[in-house]
């Protein structure tokens, strides 16, 4: 009996191989219940059948976590350190009857592999015989029946949680790096708030990515993640409104003075200024400077900027005008809108321009000038 026991122990450890600091078990010795029922995984799921890797020691902990979120954060951080993506497989946070709340964590490749062709989404490809040809896009999952499982259980009467390793084995090769991974590259709530604030300050996307990675060295986001997040936040902010509707809404929210005129429900000219700028103009109304700038918007509308000069030779902005063309009628409408914001006692004495003829003709020296 003693000899048989030693032989059993010898052959049990003979099936283990020490490789790169981890014990590897032959896949012929380790077969999960799912593999026994379903057979070998289909081709194309990138599963290695020669060995499996055991990460039980990396996720074994005797710590008690104060809250479910703290436990999930620790498990995912451990996964990042070992290039493993941890996802929630099943959650029973409230508990059923006398059962304690629990969360089951698994590898992202847990589940059945599926390969299908989508009939709705088509991919346009070029062919040698025909110019363009539409084909059904081949889609598949990364699932390969990975048996890795962690169980998070609530203990005690409070919000204390503990982590148990149900199975620490993976049946697939571990990724060398997680850079650009769709799940790991997601921005957390704090990072998304930072992105929104920096975008409002006109910070470039590449500088936003550098700042996020400086705060979290394990962050796997890419430039595509930053662009997608900016588009989502902008779409959420617009709330179904067009750009012009959103712009007019923002002017109204911040108490701007605004006039616009339309043609066939299309805004052709837009004037806006702030009451504070008008108050400064009433204090220093002597000199006005007007000039147009270009390439400020996708519609290629010229932007007329009107500035004033203080007694200390400092310039200040008065108003901005988007015009669909630099014609006499557009300038006349813009000057009329500015004149309606001023009193008769604070009219400018000098208007400086760059000899724009349409602007000069919009305020003639005779025949009822807008600014006498």
pLDDT in tens, 124-166: 544 444 455 555 666 667 788 888 999 999 887 788 899 999 9
Q: Are residues 67 and 164 in the same domain?
A: yes
The answer for residues whose C-beta is within 8 angstroms of residue 15's C-beta and 6 or more apart is: 25, 26, 29
User: At which residue do the structure tokens 């620490």 appear?
Assistant: 168
**Cross-sheet strand order for the sheet of 16-19:** 16-19, 22-26, 51-54, 169-170
Phi, psi at residue 255, to the nearest 5°?
60, 40
Q: Are residues 193 and 283 in the same domain?
A: no
- 338: nearest Cα among 272, 255, 292, 293: 272
Two structure tokens written together for 263: 């043609």
User: Would residue 133 count as lying in a domain?
Assistant: no
User: Would residue 349 count as lying in a domain?
Assistant: yes
User: Would residue 344 count as lying in a domain?
Assistant: yes
- Residue span of the structural domain in which 195 resides: 189-238
Q: How much is the pTM?
A: 0.56
User: Would residue 24 count as lying in a domain?
Assistant: yes
Q: What is the model's pLDDT at position 5? A: 44
Structurally, how many domains does the chain consist of?
A: 3
- Per-residue pLDDT reduced to its tens digit, 255-264: 999 999 988 8
Tell me which residues of the chain have a pLDDT lower than 50: 1-46, 48-49, 121-123, 125-130
Q: Are residues 19 and 164 in the same domain?
A: yes
Pairing status of strand 287-293 against strand 350-352:
parallel
Q: Are residues 34 and 158 in the same domain?
A: yes
User: Would residue 264 count as lying in a domain?
Assistant: yes
**How many angstroms separate the CA atoms of 366 and 372, rounded?**
9
Does residue 292 contact residue 285 with C-beta atoms inside 8 Å?
A: no
Q: What is the model's pLDDT at position 222? A: 86
- 268: nearest Cα among 277, 259, 276: 259
Q: Are residues 251 and 290 in the same domain?
A: yes
- 343: nearest Cα among 271, 273, 285, 287: 285
Q: What is the model's pLDDT at position 100? A: 79
């Amino acid at each position: 009996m003693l000899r048989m026991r030693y032989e059993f122990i010898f052959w049990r450890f003979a099936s283990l191989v020490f490789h790169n600091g981890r014990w590897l078990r032959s896949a012929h010795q380790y077969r999960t219940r799912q593999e026994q029922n379903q057979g070998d995984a289909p081709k194309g799921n990138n599963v290695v059948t020669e060995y499996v890797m055991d990460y039980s020691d990396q996720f074994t902990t005797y710590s008690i976590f104060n809250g479910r979120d703290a436990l999930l954060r620790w498990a995912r951080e451990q996964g990042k350190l070992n290039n493993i993506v941890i996802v929630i497989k099943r959650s029973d946070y409230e508990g059923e009857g006398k059962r304690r709340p629990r969360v089951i964590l698994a590898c992202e490749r847990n589940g059945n592999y599926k390969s299908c062709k989508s009939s709705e989404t088509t991919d346009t490809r070029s062919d040698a015989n025909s110019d363009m040809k539409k084909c059904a896009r081949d889609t598949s999952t990364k699932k390969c029946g990975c048996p890795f499982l962690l169980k998070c259980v609530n203990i005690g009467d409070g919000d204390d949680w503990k982590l148990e390793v149900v199975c620490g084995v993976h049946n697939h090769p571990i990724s060398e790096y997680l850079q650009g991974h769709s799940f790991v590259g997601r921005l957390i709530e704090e990072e998304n708030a930072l992105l929104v604030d920096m975008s409002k300050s006109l910070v470039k996307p590449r500088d936003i990515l550098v700042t996020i990675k400086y705060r979290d060295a394990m962050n796997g986001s890419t430039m595509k993640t930053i662009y997608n997040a900016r588009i989502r936040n902008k779409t959420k902010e617009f709330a179904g409104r067009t750009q012009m509707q959103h712009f007019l809404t923002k002017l109204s929210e911040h108490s701007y003075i605004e006039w616009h005129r339309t043609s066939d429900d299309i805004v052709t000219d837009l004037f806006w200024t702030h009451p504070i700028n008008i108050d400064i103009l009433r204090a220093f109304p002597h000199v006005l400077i007007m000039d147009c700038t270009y390439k400020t918007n996708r519609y290629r509308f010229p932007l007329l900027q009107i500035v004033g000069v203080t007694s200390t030779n400092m310039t200040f902005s008065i108003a901005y005008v988007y015009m669909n063309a630099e014609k006499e009628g557009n300038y006349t409408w813009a000057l009329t809108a500015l004149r309606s914001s001023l009193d008769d006692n604070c009219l400018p004495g000098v208007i400086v321009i760059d000899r724009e003829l349409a602007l000069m003709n919009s305020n003639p020296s005779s025949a009822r000038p807008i600014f006498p």
